[in-house]
Amino acid sequence: MNLAIDQGNSSTKLGFFDKGKLIATYKLFFLDQQKLNELCKRHSPGKIIVSSVTQETKILEQFFSAAKTRFIIFDQNTPLPFINQYKTPETLGKDRLAAIAGAQAHYPESTLLIIDAGTAITFDLVVGNTFTGGNISPGLQMRFTALHTQTKQLPKVEPGQSEFWGKTTEEAIRSGVQNGIIMELDSYIDKTRKQYPDVKTIITGGDADFFVTYTKNIIFVHPNLVLHGLNRILEYNA
């Protein structure tokens, strides 16, 4: 049994894998040793990988060291199961690397466009076994917040159903932000398909389900892509 831990700014996701199959996931807003001990007793992981955007992994390191369980802290020095052509690998987010590994686990040796629609929206291109590069764009909530905080008059708007042309300021903001992202996604997919006709487009992240219903292109939704990628990286380093 493997355990993949994805520690974010506001929560920690845990995924337990048995022979490559994700059998259980948990989302913890407060990472305490009692809850961690309860889950580990329930599933008995033999190998563990920890990825953290906060770099605050002391609690996890102390817990697994005391339990004498094999674990890896995923960082820029961890060997990857693919070729990375990024010129500044030390600045590349671990969640992006894990999503790439997860996408390859689902679609090996394929050309992949991986979209992570979270706080930021990332676009990453993988050709065969090589990560060739990617782009970063503001996410849904970030755009709504920026319009409100960077102006004196515009209100804070939440996502929702909207007509293409807004008839109030609130409708105009909602439609402008949401349709702007939808057009952005479709444009990335179309442009990538012109160069790589057989590309598979995968979307993950907190806003994936929201946007997949609006895009004109057929894409695959994988909500636990990062956990799958962490497990693949763990197996690669086992």
Active-site residues, by number, are: 95
CB 25 within 8 A of CB 13: yes
Strand segments (E) across 70-212: 70-73, 83-84, 112-117, 120-127, 130-138, 200-204
Tokens of 207: 């806003």
Per-residue three-class SS string for 11-72: CEEEEEEECCEEEEEEEECCCCHHHHHHHHHHHCCCEEEEEECCCCCHHHHHHHHHCCCEEE
| Contact yes or no for 45/64 (Cβ under 8 A) | no
